[in-house]
Structure 1
Amino acid sequence: MKAYSLKEATKKLEGYCAYQERCHKEVVNKLREMRMIPEAIDQIVVHLIENDYLNEERFAKSFARGKFTIKKWGRKRIRLELKQRSISRFNIKTALQEINQTAYLDTFDALADKRLSQITEKNRLKRRKKLADYLLYRGWESELVYAKIKELVP
């Protein structure tokens, strides 16, 4: 394991943060992997924040947009994943506001329709359960899911 000087570690983490948005937790874990002492970790994190390499609000917004657009996750799953990354309640709320409500509902409808067409199960109740499990796992709100199932699989 290579030992890093403060300057080397700072440069390495600048690149790490410039490559893609990171949260504080990811950066601290990376520095721990590099075997940096707590004082050095604090110093590097402060440097990254002051030089705008590390911005938790920007990370949360980017994360929410990306997971919604690319992975088609619902708000519940995005909120949970951000909480696991120790993002503040305020930043989570701000990030979720990035998702346009119309786009959110359109994506949900399209996802439900697509998934239903892939379910080959003949039994009506099992079809409903499979669709519900899929949508709930992706973090869509239960009231949306159950209303959609009533509509698609009467």
Structure 2
Amino acid sequence: MGILSILFLSMEKKSFTYEEIKQKLVNYCVYQDRCHAEVEQKMREFLLIDEAKEEIMLYLLKENYLNEERFTRSYIRGKFYIKHWGRNKIRMNLKQKQVPEKLINKCFDEIDDEDYRVAIKKMYDNYYAKHIDLNEYQRKIKTIKHIIGKGFEYDAIINSIEE
């Protein structure tokens, strides 16, 4: 068998039964919290009719495999405490995932205000210390720009470094 025929075989889509697709989507949600948009995107891979999509989506919601608030809270915690993103960057990424603004605002209580302040201060001190070749003003501006780039708010940065 030549390379072209192997490539062609690997490009063929395998067909699944409704129950197999449903189970694959359950596994997809169990592996990691997902938002509605991610599940809908995954469903597109299976070329389902609208009624089947709705039925599976309702099943995932009813059985609590899919929970937008749980996803949002988990996402916020992970992006702040592991990736060290600020609220602005987290909010922007959640909006790209079509999470409602109201839900985003409700779930931001996952970030402790003191932890947020300490994270900014630590980030500021670490980045500032790396740029000894610049004068005081340039170091401060460059450091603030870096932290803004991580999604932190200007006012929060200023408040944290002035303490």
TM-score higher than 0.5: yes
Tell me the matched-pair count: 151
1:68-87 → structure 2 map (5 Å cutoff): 68-87=80-99
How far, CA to CA, are the matches of 1:130 and 1:37 in structure 2?
Answer: 52
Which of 120, 126, 150 is equivalent to 1:138? Answer: 150
Q: Confirm or deny that 1:114 pairs with 2:126.
A: yes
Partner in structure 2 of residue 7 of structure 1: 19
- Tell which deviates more after alignment, 140-149 or 40-49: 140-149
Structure 1 contact 3–35 (Cα < 8 Å) conserved? no
Q: Confirm or deny that 1:66 pairs with 2:78.
A: yes
What stretches of structure 2 of length at least 5 have no aligned partner?
A: 1-12
Structure 2 contact 124–147 (Cα < 8 Å) conserved? yes
Structure 1 contact 64–98 (Cα < 8 Å) conserved? yes
1:41-60 → structure 2 map (5 Å cutoff): 41-60=53-72
Identity of aligned pairs, percent?
36
Which of 106, 111, 124 is equivalent to 1:94? Answer: 106
Task: Report deviation, 1:76.
Answer: 1.2
What's the TM-score, normalizing by structure 2? 0.84
Q: Which runs of 4+ in 1 moved over 3 A?
A: 123-126, 146-149
Structure 1 contact 75–139 (Cα < 8 Å) conserved? yes
| Rg comparison, structure with higher value | 2
Partner in structure 2 of residue 129 of structure 1: 141
What stretches of structure 1 of length at least 5 have no aligned partner?
A: none
How far, CA to CA, are the matches of 2:96 and 2:158 in structure 1?
Answer: 27
Q: 1:50 to 1:126 in 2, by over 3 A?
A: same
What's the TM-score, normalizing by structure 1? 0.88
Task: Report deviation, 1:132.
Answer: 2.0
